[in-house]
A and B are shown apart, each in its own frame.
Chain A
Amino acid sequence: MSFRLDQLPKKRYVVPGNAACAGCGMMIGWKILGMALGEEAVLTIPASCASVVQGLSPKSGIAMPILNVPFASAAAVATGIAEAFKTLGVKGHAVVWAGDGGTADIGFATLSGAAERNSNILYIMYDNEAYMNTGIQRSSSTPRAAWTTTTPMGKRERKKDVALLMAMHGAPYVATASIAYPQDFYRKLKRAAEVEGFKFIHLHTPCPPGWRFDPAKTVEVARLAVETGAWILWEYDNGKFKLNPPSTIYADKNKRKPLKEYLKLQGRFAHLTDNDIKNLEEEIDAKWQTILALAKTFS
């Protein structure tokens, strides 16, 4: 699909003067969501940074219809919206916009249920890799070794790969995306909107206060995650698993930038020794082996 920036909608789905922190990665993703699905999306949002941005009554920082729901219920509520659309004959997309805590931890039961039922919803997990809204507590999506307020010595456990878990549910469409590559995310949203059934997109969204970096570097950090291989762009579309550019070239380990370039920008990794970094690199390589094996098996 050809992609020209000047052909994207100019409407502001993110309304200026909202409560998001300066340099928030999630807001970049939200803009792209608005551009791709626009008036046809109805969002369901559990407790998260997102609910702060859209819920400062009486004003909302987002120009989209949104339902605010309790933490664990997002996927179930969206399923209800999708069923209502079907019954009433309304053309629309039931979309969940939830953080990693509301997805990988607290909302996982309803998420897994919706995937198993193949509910006609699009679930987008914006992953800032901790509970940022409440003060940077670790989630199951926080990467190993990262500092958070509840892992002061660095997290000991590995990051839960929610996108792979969703693909293993046999969902018709699952993809990963990054806010550094809006064109790729836009295309995936458009593709997901065409697919009937359960869709899941895992969006990597760096968080300046939580990851401890300069707000100007949000896009740079997100891009380095992909260029070092720490974040892999792929999609699983009706049984076919494939890598997406630019991650395709990083399948070759030698083409990846050293992981240190990604880690050194972030204060949450400041305590790491060279040996720690080597261990992380090995873990990333093991993840690549899994992804490449899947791409080969389901080509």
Chain B
Amino acid sequence: MIPLSKPAPASAGITGTWRTYKPVVSLDKCIDCGLCWLYCPESVIDWEKGHKVTIDYTYCKGCGICADVCPVKAINMIPEEA
């Protein structure tokens, strides 16, 4: 029989534990452009036009791409506590 993998979250575990910096969104600065959602390599950013963004910290690896691409610098990378 051919071994089958089925799509499911956490195929590599709770990847949020990889994080050393945590992206925190200042929603008052957010202009609802969706670029962080578009570029997030982990698909952990939710975005609905008009409702801005939320981040799933269970799986966010803390790469910081969202903060880097944000045109208004509304995302800050905050060090995780040990």
Are B7 and A16 in contact, CB atoms less than 8 angstroms apart? no
User: Chain A contacts of B48 at CB under 8 A?
Assistant: 6, 10
Most B CB within 10 A of own CB, among A18, A28, A63, A218: A18
What mask results when residues 20 to 33 of chain B are scored 1 for a CB within 8 Å of chain A, else 0? 00000000000001
Q: Is A59 an interface residue (CB 8 A)?
A: yes
Are A62 and B7 in contact, CB atoms less than 8 angstroms apart? yes
Are A17 and B11 in contact, CB atoms less than 8 angstroms apart? yes
Are B14 and A219 in contact, CB atoms less than 8 angstroms apart? no
Residues of chain A from 58 to 86 with CB closer than 8 A to chain B in the complex: 58-64
Q: How many contacts between A and B, using CB within 8 angstroms? A: 120
Are A216 and B5 in contact, CB atoms less than 8 angstroms apart? no
Are B68 and A61 in contact, CB atoms less than 8 angstroms apart? no
Q: Report Cα–Cα, A224/B65, bound state, in Å.
A: 15
Knowing A22-B62, A22-B63, the reply to whether A17 touches B14 (Cβ < 8 A) is: yes
Most A CB within 10 A of own CB, among B8, B19, B65, B69: B65
Are A15 and B8 in contact, CB atoms less than 8 angstroms apart? yes
Q: Is A19 an interface residue (CB 8 A)?
A: yes
Chain B residue at smallest Cβ distance from A5 = B34
Q: Is A220 an interface residue (CB 8 A)?
A: yes
Interface of B with A (CB < 8 Å)?
3-15, 18-19, 33-35, 37-39, 41-44, 48-49, 56, 58-59, 61-65, 67-69, 77
